[in-house]
Structure 1
Amino acid sequence: MRCQPNSQHQVYNWLKSKQTCLLCDEAADAALAICTGCEAELPWLGGHCQVCALPLSSHGLVCGACLKKPPSFNKVEVPWRYAFPIDSLITRFKHQAKWPLGRLLGELLSQHLQHAFDEGLSRPDLLLPVPLANKRQRQRGFNQAALLSEWLSPLLQVPLQTHWLQRVIDTPAQQQLDAATRKRNLRKAFALAPDSQVTGLHVALVDDVLTTGATAESLARLLKKAGATRVDVYCLARTPKPGD
């Protein structure tokens, strides 16, 4: 198995017998390319909002924003806070095409999700990657959300549709914008493909990082308007409130 799908050239042999930790370069203790020590020191989420996964001081709470105005998505499942070294790993995967790092994060995310399913989280009928604008995908060479979905689908045994969600308007990059500007950016930015059939389905959006939730909100609203019964969000990391 290789990290780069549909390629004739091997980039990384994920099933080699002896793995090396991709974080510290020491021998890994298990099948994944991360040692026990580095895995334990990752910024695991801890207390968080039960709806949007915003980091909170205690478990089992719902944040003020979700109480005041419940979002269109039902639940965010995420293993980590967006902090070192997860932020660096995601950046290197996303902007430097370090696919082995993305594959490792996808494997760990699948373990987190499988545990959540075992604990009672409803398993979705379908995975839908958050779409990337065509221009940005040509510049980057790939859509990181689509790759994560392709790795998650067989591990979770959940079908995947990579083209049902489309980004029809190329909005400015969201990273440095506040929540209100992000929402304005995303008005009418997404559409469903003509052959998509989400009526009656529980679907899960897949992305790398959830910041303000504006993208997830826009897509969840679109999907529910089209007949989806439930929309969850699976991502690698959740950013805290500014200043936290």
Structure 2
Amino acid sequence: MSEFVRRWLGAAVRAGAGAVLPSACALCGGDADAPVCTSCARQFVHGDGARCRCCANPLGAADAGHLCGACLAEVPSYDATVAAADYASPLDQLVLRLKFGGALALAPWCAGALARAVLAAPGFAPPELLCPVPLGPARLAERGYNQALEIARPLSKLLGIALYPALTVRPRDTPAQSSVAPGQRKKNMRHAFLVAPDMLTLVRGRHIGVVDDVMTSGHTLNALAATLKRFGAARVSNMVFARTPPH
């Protein structure tokens, strides 16, 4: 059995166990019939507050529906972003458990929160197809799964939008953005992505929805959007579970 298959099976078993055994809320530890109890969901995942319609950073109420100063100064390659929540305590620990701890049972819950945010986003045009942010080959083999794909699968079903897991590829492993100095993150993502050759006809002239767990600086999503547009995409919209607020 390969190392990749071993890790994937281990993650799947952990996810399945969480689905059939009595569960506790991943945030407060109280009894719950879902990964996160209703009380915590209401407290930490909500649609309150205006966000930039392009990058989903928080805005003042008077600026609702507009672009933030950063997007006005340098227009990103993507056209819109919807985020379900802020990447802040305690949700950040939940995301880390999904991303690095094999807690795959959290992915459908994140997808549900994201689907509600997408459907509630004013003026958001639904994409024609979904694409998860791909992992590099070594990181995928090490982790055994792609957390963006694990969110994208149930999100596709909830929104009724076709998912193409192999639409884009990440042919080489780049250093994790969290390990790179902020000023070098854009450079780190240069030439990181490609559209799969057999998927080119799906991209041309289409509105692509890119799914990820967290959006921090936005450089990864911007690089992927730039690649999709270079290969003919008409529009690219990001759908992320959590957005890191600006510091």
TM-score by shorter chain over 0.5: yes
Q: 1:206: which partner in 2?
A: 211
Q: 1:47: which partner in 2?
A: 50
Structure 1 vs Structure 2: percent identity of aligned residues? 37
Deviation at 1:34, TM superposition (A): 3.1
Q: 1:89: which partner in 2?
A: 94
TM-score by length of 1: 0.86
Deviation at 1:115, TM superposition (A): 2.7
Q: 2:111: which partner in 1?
A: 106
8 Å CA contact 1:210, 1:235 repeated in 2: yes
Q: CA separation in 2, counterparts of 1:186 and 1:52?
A: 17
8 Å CA contact 1:73, 1:217 repeated in 2: yes
Q: CA separation in 2, counterparts of 1:7 and 1:97?
A: 8
Count of paired positions = 233
Determine if the alignment matches structure 1 residue 154 to structure 2 residue 123.
no
The change in CA–CA distance for 1:220 and 1:9 in structure 2 (over 3 A counts) is closer
- What amino acid does structure 2 have at the position aligned with 1:66? C
Q: Which has the higher contact order (CA 8 A, sep 6+)?
A: 2
Of residues 119, 133, 137 in structure 1, which corresponds to 2:136?
133
- Structure 1 stretch displaced more, 43-52 or 141-150: 43-52
Q: CA separation in 1, counterparts of 2:45 and 2:14?
A: 34
8 Å CA contact 1:43, 1:83 repeated in 2: no
8 Å CA contact 1:90, 1:102 repeated in 2: no
SS in structure 1 opposite 2:178? coil
Q: 2:170: which partner in 1?
A: 167
TM-score by length of 2: 0.85
8 Å CA contact 2:80, 2:236 repeated in 1: yes
Structure with greater proportional helix content: 2
SS in structure 1 opposite 2:209? strand
Determine if the alignment matches structure 1 residue 64 to structure 2 residue 66.
no
- What amino acid does structure 1 have at the position aligned with 2:37? C
Deviation at 1:178, TM superposition (A): 3.7
Structure 2: where are the runs of 5+ without partners? Answer: 1-8
Structure 1: where are the runs of 5+ without partners? Answer: none
SS in structure 2 opposite 1:39? helix
